[in-house]
Each structure stands twice: as structure tokens, then as C-alpha cells.
Chain A
């Protein structure tokens, strides 16, 4: 059974003569687990597997004497399926590192298993900031973004570029409340004002009454403290009410390139949000995006997929340096001690609590007249420097941070 399945699984094997004795069972095995068929399939999904493969190829693992294999799995957004796959990967298939894992409930479950088994967990897709806070593990690196960075980036940068008055449209459950609370705190700290807020049920399909309240509040910025289909539905309906054309701006707190692409520029124009990476920022990114799209059904890379590339690259560097992948905590310690440097995220560092540090960007969706191609969607409104982009080390309550 298992043999049959691993033939179906994605596998990129780079045979290179004699394997290193210290590398467990001779192969560095990377397990990319995410949502391959549901809501997050486009922003992570099979594209993340492609990104990991490209990272392995660009790293030149074969030339460095490392044998690398990649397997992929669908956690179907269910924590029990995810934890079953990961335990089996580690116990039976000898997977050394788990990558990506969107959906916070699954990521939190995987975080505990990897800590227990002393392997490595590189998070790109999940948002929960407590993965480097009270739940931080010596075996985990949180790469691309987190909820704190999004709330801070969007709140901070918008107020500084003139959006003083805010109105929140919040999904009525813990995640929505947390996003709203964190963003409101940032807005007020920077001298902005929260004029009002309205809670919508989760999940919701009809936002008209909430949007009318937001419209009549005359706030400059309407903050969408929700995620996924709620956010895209709210944006679509806001376009129907002509909210953006009426001079108000929407700020999404959690949205991805693929969502914007699906919404279309006509609907999404003027939307402001924070992301860690965009393909059209420099030549290296553009070149990567073209190669990536050719291998991923023409879809351009999201920041999550770029994060997978960058994280896998740095992991391989650490393993090549250590010449061993068996002790997860040791590999992560090595990763933290080396500065990160790759063609997508540039130079950066990994903090003691497992937080990868890099600049974040405030983007605005282009007007249809400004766009020059099907994937030409964003313009940069502000850069949030690396030292301000993430939660200060002392505020996270991570037990790994001493003093």
C-alpha cells in the first residue's frame, strides 16, 4: 500500500553517489502539507510543492552531496488528518522537515508533534502569532507572516499615510475579535481614531446592512477583520455599494494574491493590505515568478509559496553546514545562528522565538487602467522596515526567550 502511494506522491530525487552517513537514512525528506483541494489550495496547495522543488533545484543539493526527496499531502483543513499524516511521515516514512501548513488549528497540532519528535517545522501558510508566542517550540520557524504583523502593518502604515478614521467590520468569533483588537490598538497608538465597529456572524453571505453602517460612519478606512470567503464577499458587496468610488478605502487584514486575482481589479481596486512578498518587486522575483508559473498551471506565486521556497533554501543550507538532519532542534539552532539570504526574501534573520524577520509591505490594488498584465495587481504604498514589522521579542511570552 505504502509503496504504491509514494509512487503517486510527488518525488524529486537527486541521486548523488554516496549519501552522508549522518543524514538520517541517507535522504533529507521534505514533507509539504497543506490544503490541496479546498479554500487554500490556490494560495498554498500544489504550488507550495512546486516552490519546494524549485528551492531544492536552485540550491544544487545534488552537487553538494545531499539527497533530497519531497512528499506532499492534503490535510483537508482537518487537524486530526494533519496530525495523523505528520506522525506517520515522521515515524514510518522518515520525513525530516514539515513545511507550509496553512490553517492555524492544524499548524498548532503539528507544532506539538514536531516538538515531541524533535524534527523541524517551517511554517509559511499559517497565521497564528502564538506559534512564536506562548506556543513557540525550539523546532519551529514561522517564516512568512503572522496575524500581529498584518494587523500592525496595515494599522500603522495606513494611519501614517493619512487614513486617520477607522470603522471595523469584524467576524464575530475569537479570530475576528483578536484581529480587530490588535489593529485598533495600533491605529490608536499612531494617533488614529476608531469611529465604530460592527460584528457580523461567521460565516456570513449578506453584508449589506453592515456595509451601510460602515458607509454612513464616514470613516476614511473600513477595516475588514475577517478572512477567506467573508473578506471576498464583503469586498464584492462593497463594490456594489460604490463604497470605494465614494472616497472610502477598504483595508483587508488577511488576503492573498490569489484572492485579489479571483476578485478582479474592477471589484478590488483601492483595497489596502499588508503582505510579505510580491512577485513584481525586483528582477529576481520576476524571473522566479515566470519560472514558477510555467510549472504551476500559469498561476503566479503567492507570498506563502515564496515563503516555502525561502524557508526550504535556508533549511538546506543549515543541513549542508551541519552535515546532519537527525536532530531537529540542532538544525533550527543552526538556522537561527546563520543570517538568511535568498533571492526572494533577500537578507534577514531568525529570532530566538522562531520568528523570521524581514520587511513587510503595504500594498494597494491597482485600478484596471493602471494594470499592464493579468498578474499586474499591486502597487507598493509603504514599506514596513524589518525591525518594526514583527511583534517585539519581549511581548510574545515565548518560554524560549530568557530574561
Chain B
């Protein structure tokens, strides 16, 4: 990317805002003490989805590309991780990496096709490719069809730490989540991230300044797919299963909702959104047939009351960056 080097260096790096540092510290502290009060498995699920939503937000919130097929990377990564851990006997860390790599490759293929188009056409292409791979998952023998891949071993991290222990598993998921979160934060605040935001605001102007916007968009797309895959692979190891739910289109919709409820284009929004959506699915499971009604009411309330998402609205009210 030698051609882009000169204009990039002109972009001034924004100082890390104090509110973001404080919010990050609070989040880490909460996550460290949370397993004492909250059921760890639920927390792990929330963290996997939080990472997934952050990866999605990298694309929609910072490049302005609405992918409606992110379940493809999440779901296929979970299949590959589950298969690697169960059938090929990989260690959990390599199984998760294999999932993330698969997602990166899928993201490269789907991304290079989809970024040629804008807006609704972009969304439709990503959806079409995701559905294509969904039907492949339905048919392919190694995914187990609608039974999914069951009883995936959690195994030993680095061959040493027994992930069968809930707290060891939680620690691992927490490290993966924080690693992914910080990496995404770094990407957003790098010169590369500034270019992405420039593309979001006004693509023709970014082109006129000499940026190869397609190349930037593709890199962002692959990065987003990779982090989505990291989340998917981790989820497969946590739940010890991979199933069609994760590759189906409602999952692509769910991640859009998480990002929207939390706040698009905010660093912490997707995390909050993911926790809320997962908590609803989990705790409302007890009230049976009312789940959908309650979910609907909550979403209507969100759209009417917090247009910028919960975190976005909070940041706007307090005039801080989050």
C-alpha cells in the first residue's frame, strides 16, 4: 500500500479519550467479578456474541457497509472449529484459529465480490452468498445436517489447562474477547481506521484524495469476517456444539440488532447490545411463548426512545466518546 502511505501520514491521530479508558476499565472489572454473581456459561455466550457484534460494527459502524450475511463467517467458523476439535483432535486454541482462518478466507471471497456494489445491492449479495453456504451446510455430510456437530470436546488449552472447568473456560473466552476487542479498537483508531471513516462519510472524496477505497473496504471486510469467525469458533468450543442456527439468516439479523440496540459506530455499543439480546433470549426462555412479544416491545421502545442506540445516546447526552 505504498501509494496510500503519503496521504495517510497526514491524518492526525486522535488522542485516546479519557472516557473510553475509564469505560474499558469498568468493563474489564465487571467481567472479572461477574462469574461470582452470574452463571458463567451465560457470560461466555454473551462474550462470544459481543465479539461477533464488535466485528460486525467494524464494518457497518466504521465503513458504512451493511453486510446481511455475517452468519456465514460466524457459523462456518463454528463448524470448522467443532470439526477440528472433535474429528481431527486439534487443541482448542488451534481449533479456534482454524475457524477464524476459514472465516477470513470466506470473507476474502465474499468480500471481493460484494464490495463492487453499494448499499442494498451490497447487502443482497452478502445475504445471497451466506444463504448459499447455509444450504451447503444443510447438505454437507460433515456438518451433520440439522443435527449439527454434537459433543465437541473442550480439551486442554495448550495441552495444559483443562477447559472442562467453567472458570478456566471463562478466563479463556475473556482473554479472546478482550484481545479481539482491543484489536478492533486499535484498527478503528489507526490511520487505516481514519481512512475507513472517511470512506463512510464520503467515498468519492476519499477517492479524489488518492485512496484506493475498494482495497480498504476489502481489508475491512476480511478483518470483520475474521473476528466474526474468532467469535464463532470460540462459541463452538464453549457450547460443545455447532448447528445450523449459527449459519442461518436470522443469526445475520440478530447481529444487526445487537449493533443497533447498543449503538452503531460506538466502541462499546455492540458489547452492550449483545449482552441485552443474549440476556433476553436466555432469561425470557423461562416465560415460554411470550418471548417474541417481549422482544418486540423492547425493540420498538429502543427505536422510539434511543435512536442512536443505548451507548450512542448515553455518549451524546454526556458529550463524551464511548
Co-assembled chains A and B: yes
Give the interface of A toward B (CB within 8 A). 1, 5-6, 8-10, 36-37, 41, 45-46, 49, 71-81, 83-85, 87-88, 91-92, 104-105, 108-109, 112, 128, 135, 172-175, 202
Report the separation of the CA atoms of residues A80 and B282 in the bound assembly, to the nearest whole angstrom: 10
Cross-chain contact B281 with A174 (CB below 8 angstroms): no
Cross-chain contact B286 with A5 (CB below 8 angstroms): yes
Residue of A nearest to B246 (CB): A80
Cross-chain contact A84 with B245 (CB below 8 angstroms): no
29 A-B residue pairs with Cβ-Cβ distance under 8 Å, sorted by A, are A1-B283, A5-B283, A37-B292, A46-B288, A46-B289, A74-B284, A76-B281, A76-B285, A76-B291, A77-B245, A80-B45, A80-B235, A80-B239, A81-B285, A84-B41, A84-B42, A84-B282, A85-B282, A105-B243, A105-B245, A108-B147, A109-B148, A109-B150, A109-B241, A109-B243, A128-B147, A173-B139, A174-B139, A174-B144
Q: Give chain B nearest CB distance to A92 CB in angstroms.
A: 6
Report the separation of the CA atoms of residues A40 and B250 in the bound assembly, to the nearest whole angstrom: 18
Residue of A nearest to B139 (CB): A173
Evaluate whether A74 and B243 lie within 8 angstroms (CB atoms) in the complex, with A80-B45, A81-B282 already known.
Answer: no
Cross-chain contact B286 with A71 (CB below 8 angstroms): yes
- Residue B39 CB within 8 A of the other chain: yes
Residues from chain B with Cβ under 8 Å of A41 in the complex: 289
CB proximity to A under 8 Å, residues B280-301: 281-292
Report the separation of the CA atoms of residues A83 and B285 in the bound assembly, to the nearest whole angstrom: 12
Report the separation of the CA atoms of residues A83 and B288 in the bound assembly, to the nearest whole angstrom: 16
Cross-chain contact B148 with A79 (CB below 8 angstroms): yes
Residues from chain A with Cβ under 8 Å of B284 in the complex: 74
| Main secondary structure on B side of the interface with A | helix
Residues from chain A with Cβ under 8 Å of B148 in the complex: 79, 105, 108-109
- Residue B259 CB within 8 A of the other chain: no
Report the separation of the CA atoms of residues A83 and B240 in the bound assembly, to the nearest whole angstrom: 10
Residues from chain A with Cβ under 8 Å of B246 in the complex: 80
Residues from chain B with Cβ under 8 Å of A91 in the complex: 39
Evaluate whether A105 and B147 lie within 8 angstroms (CB atoms) in the complex, with A78-B245, A80-B239, A202-B138 already known.
Answer: yes
Report the separation of the CA atoms of residues A331 and B287 in the bound assembly, to the nearest whole angstrom: 29
Give the A-B pair count, Cβ closer than 8 A.
115
Residues from chain B with Cβ under 8 Å of A174 in the complex: 139, 141, 144-147
Report the separation of the CA atoms of residues A153 and B291 in the bound assembly, to the nearest whole angstrom: 37
Most buried by B among A8, A41, A45, A74: A74
- Residue B118 CB within 8 A of the other chain: no
Most buried by B among A49, A73, A79, A128: A79
Cross-chain contact B287 with A8 (CB below 8 angstroms): yes
Q: Which of B42, B138, B290 contacts A88 (CB 8 A)?
A: B42
Report the separation of the CA atoms of residues A174 and B244 in the bound assembly, to the nearest whole angstrom: 13
Cross-chain contact A112 with B151 (CB below 8 angstroms): yes
Most buried by B among A77, A78, A173: A78
Q: Which of A74, A79, A87, A109 contacts B285 (CB 8 A)?
A: A74
Cross-chain contact B147 with A104 (CB below 8 angstroms): yes
Report the separation of the CA atoms of residues A112 and B241 in the bound assembly, to the nearest whole angstrom: 10
Q: Give chain A nearest CB distance to B238 CB in angstroms.
A: 9
Report the separation of the CA atoms of residues A192 and B148 in the bound assembly, to the nearest whole angstrom: 34
Residues from chain A with Cβ under 8 Å of B45 in the complex: 80, 84
Residues from chain B with Cβ under 8 Å of A172 in the complex: 139
Q: Give chain B nearest CB distance to A202 CB in angstroms.
A: 7
